[in-house]
Structure 1
Amino acid sequence: MKAAVLHEYDEHLVNDAWLRCEEVEDPRIERPTDVIVRVGGAGVCRTDLHVIEGIWRGKADVALPHILGHENAGWVEATGSAVEHVKVGDPVICHPLVTGGHCLACRRGNDMHAAESRFPGINANGGYAEYMLTGERSLIKLPKSLAPKDVAPYTDAGLTAYHAARKAAHHLLPGQYAVVIGAGGLGHIGIQVLHALCAAEIIVIDRTEQALHLAADCGAQHLVMGDEHVVDRVLELTGGHGAEAVLDFVGEGDSVANGLAMTRNAGFYYVVGYGGRLEVPTIDLITSEKTIVGNLVGTYPELMELMALADSGRVRLATREYSLADANLALKDLHHGRVVGRAVLLP
């Protein structure tokens, strides 16, 4: 099969090309519950850039050469002997983690903290290819209204945004405020989820007019340019007290300090983006009683809930399509801020 393959790391992301489009062996069924998916769309994520940088070497067992791609949807191509709930030809979306389902975390539905797991695109070969190996337990059948290429980024960008926004929506009340930092690939989904699940007013911060226009289309009531006056503007909008919830989809640079400054006392700061550092004097946490919440990818049930929102048209993805052969171009466009929403590779 054809695949876009990473052969070496590029710590500073300066190489002309990061991946090679080449012929590799097809994946094979190894376990009774294995499923091979013919990839219909593979989302291009900033995490892919972090893998190329080598950041994930200390967090996951990434062995080169490696096939990226952890946001995947397509059609069932082949199944193991024990697979029952999907059949060849079914359109499916893939939860990003492949787990056995027997540990306590799995039985509680907390897939991302399973005792044993594979993460295609991170520590196993992913979907920047014509075919990908996954497991039956990771698959959700798609309704007729949703095509694989249109939903693939929901499996990480959408699911991570949903996971954080759903937490926030549980405590946000009418008359309260939610701040979303970053209206990009994750943020524009988080805005829609907040709009669908709660009645709080949504303030969105970004550094580009294009992203702010997208945020307005997604349901944001207040748009704020991310300049040196951003904290003052948010405090003014919230009556000087800050927001009850701040969802930081950037997580680096000045977004961390700004995000905490925008969070009102007894409020919640949700960290979604990463790459920066969080430094808070303990006395400030005590006196403000702010809650800081880390957010990983969501669960299988949350992906089902997100698909229900997508099927009903209450959440939609802004996407830009690239061929698999143009994987480097897609990654370069993402790196240089030329993608509005999410990029999707079509094998």
Structure 2
Amino acid sequence: MSTGRTRAVRLTRWGGPPVLTEVPRPVPTGEEVLVQVEAAGLCRSDLHVIDARPGDLPYRTPFTLGHEVAGRVVERGPQAVGPSVGERVVVYGPWGCGHCAHCASGAENYCDRRPTLDTNQAGTGAGLGRDGGMADVLLAPSGRLLVPVGDLAAVRAAPLTDAGLTAYHAVATVRPSFTCGADVVVLGIGGLGHLAVQILRATTTAQVLAVDVREEALALADQCGAHFGTLLRPDTAEVLRSRTGGTGAAAVLDFVGSHSSLELAIAVLRAGGELAVVGSGGGELTVRKPGALPPGARISLPFWGTLPELGRVVALAREGALRVEVERFALSGATEAIERLRSGSVRGRAVLVVD
């Protein structure tokens, strides 16, 4: 049994910057499993947490950030299940109650007992009110939340737990409406969007149309297999509709969620189409009948993904069908990584490497 202290990037108070500090090394009890962290991803969800004001989120400070985690099992509680000591794993980030109907099916992202501002519970998962993986070690509440990754590189594996999983879940949400060769628009080719393009290519026959405001993002979309890419311009809706033969897209995956992206999504969606809003860019939709939305349109707000889906995402990555574009930073460089992410200058996904 290891004791002592360990490094962690902690949010110590709302409105304050995260700090790299030392904390007691946790010892697993009951079903808990201790994971030696090899890599931890960083995304805009972390920025939302860092920038939150008191009362914005149902969490209590202090806690360790980091919800995209890959590492190795080093200790297990006496009632632990799942991977053995020495196995390399990724950590499923949304931690539900483990007992409700959603959790029993593996959909802990939709746990019926998710904390709210009124329930005063500890948090919703790794790095979200509970200690996460921007640290030397992470204490998982149960081995059920760990997915083996074999020899998959940690720096590529960690982002699969959110960027890969959320993109996969969004695609799975709209996929049942596809016909053979359906046109699908992906808005925002960033950390999630570039993976959504690959997932669409690997799991569907869809024609993938990519949109971004950056030329380099469109180049990344092309590398990931998009059939067509275009910058966001005043005539983008007409260009995309022309690519679909005038009917519009069967589905739009909006990884931005801004006013302009939602406006474009509505403009290119066909009648009976599916709009999945994944990004949290502050945009709003007015749902009115009649209104701007096409007849029969269905709107979803996919959140993260399920535990079985994470297993499928890992399988795609191990088969070589899914590769995360990453920029590496040391754990001690977390502040730089956060500022680079905030400035929008990270290509793909920022990952902290722990050594």
Give the TM-score normalised by the residue count of structure 1: 0.92
Match of residue 306, structure 2, among 254, 275, 299: 299
Distance 1:242 1:286 in 2: 12
* 1:171-205 C-alpha deviation (Å, 9 max, x unpaired): 32233200000010000000000001111111000
Q: Give unmatched runs, 5+ long, in structure 1.
A: none
Select between 222-231 and 260-269 the one with higher mean Cα deviation: 222-231
- Establish whether residue 9 from structure 1 lines up as the match of residue 30 from structure 2: no
Distance 2:210 2:49 in 1: 28
Select between 224-233 and 36-45 the one with higher mean Cα deviation: 224-233
Which residue of structure 1 lines up, in the alignment, with residue 288 of structure 2? 281
Contact 2:266 2:294 in 1 (8 A): no
Which residue of structure 2 lines up, in the alignment, with residue 330 of structure 1? 337
Letter in 1 for 2:23: V
Which residue of structure 1 lines up, in the alignment, with residue 138 of structure 2? 132
Aligned runs of 1:229-248 on 2, under 5 Å?
A: 229-248=235-254
Distance 1:256 1:143 in 2: 39
The Cα shift of 1:59 comes to 4.0
Distance 2:294 2:228 in 1: 29
Letter in 2 for 1:235: R
Contact 2:18 2:50 in 1 (8 A): no
Percent of matched pairs sharing the same residue: 36
- Establish whether residue 72 from structure 1 lines up as the match of residue 79 from structure 2: no
Distance 1:201 1:289 in 2: 22
Say which SS state the counterpart of residue 190 (structure 1) adopts: helix
Contact 1:99 1:116 in 2 (8 A): yes
Which residue of structure 2 lines up, in the alignment, with residue 27 of structure 1? 26
Say which SS state the counterpart of residue 245 (structure 1) adopts: strand
Given the superposition, is the C-alpha separation of residues 287 and 173 from structure 1 closer, same or farther in structure 2, using an over 3 Å criterion? closer
The Cα shift of 1:108 comes to 2.4
The structure 1 segments of at least 4 consecutive aligned residues displaced by more than 3 Å after TM superposition are 55-59, 115-118
Q: Give unmatched runs, 5+ long, in structure 2.
A: 1-5, 115-123
- Establish whether residue 339 from structure 1 lines up as the match of residue 338 from structure 2: no
Which residue of structure 1 lines up, in the alignment, with residue 156 of structure 2? 150
The Cα shift of 1:316 comes to 0.7
Distance 1:80 1:100 in 2: 18
Which residue of structure 2 lines up, in the alignment, with residue 213 of structure 1? 219
Given the superposition, is the C-alpha separation of residues 287 and 132 from structure 1 closer, same or farther in structure 2, using an over 3 Å criterion? closer
Letter in 1 for 2:129: N
The Cα shift of 1:115 comes to 3.7
Distance 1:106 1:187 in 2: 27
* 1:98-142 C-alpha deviation (Å, 9 max, x unpaired): 345322222223211224464011120111111111121100111
Distance 2:288 2:95 in 1: 39
Given the superposition, is the C-alpha separation of residues 283 and 64 from structure 1 closer, same or farther in structure 2, using an over 3 Å criterion? same
* 1:239-292 C-alpha deviation (Å, 9 max, x unpaired): 222100000000123111211111111101111111322223232378611110
Match of residue 109, structure 1, among 106, 111, 122: 106
* Total equivalences in the alignment: 338
Given the superposition, is the C-alpha separation of residues 301 and 321 from structure 1 closer, same or farther in structure 2, using an over 3 Å criterion? same
The Cα shift of 1:166 comes to 2.1
Match of residue 325, structure 2, among 308, 318, 322: 318
The Cα shift of 1:151 comes to 0.8
Give the TM-score normalised by the residue count of structure 2: 0.90
Distance 1:291 1:116 in 2: 26
